[in-house]
Amino acid sequence: DTGVSQNPRHKITKRGQNVTFRCDPISEHNRLYWYRQTLGQGPEFLTYFQNEAQLEKSRLLSDRFSAERPKGSFSTLEIQRTEQGDSAMYLCASSLTSGEPGEQYFGPGTRLTVT
Amino acid sequence: EDQVTQSPEALRLQEGESSSLNCSYTVSGLRGLFWYRQDPGKGPEFLFTLYSAGEEKEKERLKATLTKKESFLHITAPKPEDSATYLCALSRTSYDKVIFGPGTSLSVIP
C-alpha cells in the first residue's frame, strides 16, 4: 500500500465556483478524516467517517461544505460557492478503528486557491 | 472548551543544541496526547502517543513526556534534518475527534 492519496494536489478556482476533492485512504483503514490547514496553524477538524457513516461534523463548517464516503472506501469533499476565505490546504487522514484516534496517516493534501 | 496551545511559536537552534518544545492543554478527560512532525508542503507524520502523566516515549533524538497539564518534546543534539513543524494533538475518547495545536516551527542551523 502506498499510503493515503489525495487528488488534485492543487486547485485554483474563481470565487463562486464549486470544487470537489478526492481522498483514497489506506485500504484496511475504516476511519477517514478531513481537515483544513492555513499557514501557521495546525490542522482544523472538519469531519470524520467510520466506514460509510459520517460520525461528526465541525459546527464551524458552513452548509457549503459536504463530504461523502460511499461504500466506506474513498471520500469526496465538496465546497459549493467558494469564497476567498476557503483558500487553504485540505488534508485527509485515515486510521484503524482498533487503533488510537490520534494515530492517523495523512495524505499530501490539496491546496485550494480561490481568486 | 478543549484547547491545545504550543510554545514557542518558532525556535532556531544550532546543530547539537538541545531544547524542549511545550504543549499545554485543557480538556475534560484525556484519552491520548499525540505528537506529529510536519515538513513543508506535506501532511503531518505521526510520532508518539502518550496516555498518562509520567509516561515517556523516545524515537532517535526525540523524547516526549506528559504531565497532567502539559507535554514536552525534548530534542537532544538536533541535526538539520530535524527541522520541521512539530504538532501536538489530543483526543478525549477512542471515538472522539482529534484537536491539534498550532505547532512549533523548528529550524536547526548547521
Whose grid coordinates read 458552513? A62
Mean pLDDT across the stretch B80-103? Answer: 91
How many Cβ atoms are within 10 Å of B9's Cβ, its own excluded? 10
- Rounded to the nearest angstrom, the minimum Cα separation between A39 and chain B is 10
Up-side HSE of residue B51: CA atoms within 13 Å toward CB? 5
A72 touches chain B (CB under 8 A): no
Please state the φ and ψ torsions of residue A84, each to the nearest 5 degrees.
-60, -30
- The more confidently predicted of residues A110 and A101 is A110
Mean pLDDT across the stretch B43-61? Answer: 94
pLDDT, position B106: 98
Q: How far is CA B93 from CA A10, A99, A101, B70, in A?
A: 34, 12, 8, 18
- Rounded to the nearest angstrom, the minimum Cα separation between B64 and chain A is 15
**Which chain B residues are closer than 8 Å to A100 by Cβ?**
31-32, 34, 49, 91, 94
pLDDT > 90? residue B85: yes
- Of the listed ranges A107-111, B1-5, B82-86, the one predicted with least confidence: B1-5
What is the per-residue burial (b if ≥16 Cβ within 10 Å, else e) of B67-102? Answer: eeeebbbebeebeeebbbbbbbbbbbeeebbbbbbb
Q: Do B102 and A42 touch (CB under 8 A)?
A: yes
Q: Do B102 and A40 touch (CB under 8 A)?
A: yes
Beta bridge partners of A110: A90
The pLDDT tens digits of the residues spanning B22-42 come to: 999 988 888 899 999 999 999
The pLDDT tens digits of the residues spanning A40-90 come to: 999 999 999 999 999 889 887 789 999 999 988 999 999 999 999 999 999
The DSSP secondary structure of A58-97, one letter per residue, reads -TTS-TTEEEE-GGGS-EEEEE-S--GGG-EEEEEEEE-T
Q: Do A93 and B43 touch (CB under 8 A)?
A: yes
On whether the CB atoms of residues B83 and B19 are closer than 8 A, the answer is: no
Which residue among B32, B45, B103 places its CB closest to the CB of A102? B32
Highest-confidence segment of A45-54, B11-20, B89-98? B11-20
pLDDT, position A1: 54
Q: How far apart are CA A94 and CA A32, in angstroms?
A: 4
Q: How far apart are CA A102 and CA B97, in angstroms?
A: 8
pLDDT, position A80: 96
Which residue among A55, A100, A106 places its CB closest to the CB of B44? A106
- Rounded to the nearest angstrom, the minimum Cα separation between A33 and chain B is 9
